[in-house]
Chain A
Amino acid sequence: MNKQDALFEYLLRIADNALILGHRISEWCGHGPTLETDIGMTNIALDYIGHARNLYQYAVEIEGKNRTEDDLAYSRDTTAFKNLLLVEQPNEDFAYTIVRQFIFDSFNYHFFDALQSSSDERLVGIAKKSIKEIAYHYRWSAEWIIRLGDGTTESHKKIQEALDEMWMYSGECFNADAIDNQLLEAGIGVDLAAVKSKFDTRVSDILKQATLTLPTEEWMQEGGKQGNHTEHFGFILTELQWMQRAYPDMEW
């Protein structure tokens, strides 16, 4: 793959993670456990959708086909989305939502931290802008893991169950494929092995404080980065893209 195509794919992966996770968190708006938490989660959803837009805007420039951010969000079909399977998993309840968030933030923070040293200046600019918000998410979800893990017997049980069930989606964050390797060699991309070691340290530290047990999952699930999604994904697009599909080529 030439460098431009590889960078486009790389940007899509990062942007799609942000859009799809932002979409999932936005489903909470109006339904949170307290007003304060509702407001906080909506902020996080807004942060992610904002990150997605910045990245899509750069991606369409790299692609050079006169597409827009909305074309990328609203006109691609399932296999053209390259987000991790983790972020498309349903909210289920607050425990699942927090676990999904914690796994993702523990990866995403270190990923964006490293992205600040990319040789691609635009990417550095986007990373520097986003990292402040991501650092806040990183703290926020870890605090909730600790609160719920070391809260009541019920909350401990719920959060451990969610962790055990979601853990199989954690491995994909660190799966380097040809595109990752190509961009790493070009000095643009992030070294996922280095991110993984920081992730491992962080996760075990927080789980310890939360009195939770690190799951031992034998089978990790993967494929989102290459466009192979879980069954949940089509339903996300069904909602997300409905207006654009029902009324194509209109301004809103």
Chain B
Amino acid sequence: MDDVKKLEAFQAKIDAEIKIEPKDWMPDGYRKTLIRQISQHAHSEIVGMLPEGNWITRAPSLKRKMGLLAKVQDEAGHGLYLYSAAETLGTSRDEMFDQLHTGKAKYSSIFNYPTVSWADIGAIGWLVDGAAIMNQVMLTRASYGPYARAMVRICKEESFHQRQGYEIMMVLAKGTPEQKQMAQDSLNRFWWPSLMMFGPSDAESKHSAQSMAWKIKRKSNDELRQAFVDASIAQIEYLGLELPDPELKWNEERGHYDFGAIDWNEFWKVVKGGGVCNKSRIKARKKAWAEGEWVREAAMAHAEKRAERAAKN
């Protein structure tokens, strides 16, 4: 079959909702887009462990400590599932790590914001994971089989994260004035960055149209962002916290909430490396990787020695 026919057959499969599997023929662009997107997603999980991991040793009760540990551990697991999905496309985990460490690969900018209070652990679980879930639920139907399957597993596990975060916020919002203030402050800081997580608006997003045609993505950035805003308002009101945006208002005609303008200058600044934690996050990842090198090597050397001994016997 020539490439044009192959491409037609490929698109026909996508249109018929037949999943693409690792050994199937696929256009280079599809493969590259998937590797870029899946590895970015995996990096986000791994870098995302850092701001929350920051609070493990300081969690205010044993119950909260265990919940947080289990959550951060899940993120490692999710990163692992995603790296595995990307590996089926012919890249290795080491290569992907290398791209993260050298700044060639991106990860979600939200993790370049610092966690400065315990309430941030609540806000991240509730808003950041909430925003991620919007995206991930859509991705369970992505056209690439291994990606979609990883997403199904991730969504199943992720559902406790958002509930855990909201519960933390609830306890704070109904606690002492100091606690409530802590919750409000955290909501104010994480609200806008959470909205930015959906990416630039549709008009600006360079990868969106092709990804939609390939059914890697099924909803636009703006659609997902709106769904997130709509879902969040009642949750904020239930907490009794002030809305973090004075322009938030129900629009009867649209059947959605209107919200204020997003500061895209801030978004691009953080994406390009200017967030307060961009440098420290990558530094922490590189440090862990470099310090683990002798361990990885030793384990391999030992496995080889054992295999040799077994072959001799």
Contacts and interface: CB of A to CB of B under 8 A. Distances in A.
A155 B291 CA distance: 12
Interface string B152-176: 0000000000000000100100011
Main secondary structure on B side of the interface with A: helix
Interface string B128-162: 00000000000000000000000000000000000
B79 to A, nearest CB: 6
A250 B182 CA distance: 13
Contacts of B60: 74, 243-244, 247, 250, 252
B199 interface: no
Contact of B72 (A42, A94, A242): A42
Contacts of B287: 31
B298 A148 contact: yes
Contact of A38 (B76, B284, B296): B76
Given A29-B49, A39-B73, A94-B292, A147 B57 contact: no
A230 interface: no
Interface in A50-90: 50, 52-53, 56, 69-70, 73-74
A27 B70 CA distance: 13
B57 A239 contact: yes
Given A150-B305, A151-B301, A26 B118 contact: no
A243 B66 contact: no
B299 A147 contact: yes
A39 B288 CA distance: 14
B179 A247 contact: yes
Given A53-B62, A250-B175, A252-B61, A151 B299 contact: yes
A196 interface: no
A45 B66 CA distance: 9
B104 to A, nearest CB: 20
Interface residues of A, number: 48
B106 interface: no
B50 A42 contact: no
A70 B69 contact: no
A27 B76 contact: no
Interface in B260-313: 284, 287-288, 291-299, 301-302, 305
A46 B66 contact: yes
Interface string B60-92: 111011100110110011011001000000000
A243 B46 CA distance: 26
Nearest to B174: A251
Interface in B17-73: 46, 49-50, 53, 56-62, 64-66, 69-70, 72-73
B118 A30 contact: no
Contact of B58 (A30, A155, A243): A243
B166 to A, nearest CB: 14
B302 A150 contact: yes
Interface in A114-154: 146-148, 150-152, 154
A32 B56 CA distance: 15
Given A151-B298, A152-B297, 11 more contacts: A31-B284, A33-B288, A35-B76, A37-B292, A37-B295, A42-B70, A70-B61, A94-B292, A148-B295, A154-B294, A155-B295
Interface of B: 46, 49-50, 53, 56-62, 64-66, 69-70, 72-73, 76-77, 79-80, 83, 118, 168, 171, 175-176, 178-179, 284, 287-288, 291-299, 301-302, 305
18 contacts: A26-B65, A26-B69, A27-B57, A30-B72, A33-B293, A33-B295, A35-B46, A35-B76, A38-B76, A39-B76, A73-B62, A94-B295, A150-B305, A152-B294, A154-B298, A155-B301, A240-B58, A252-B60
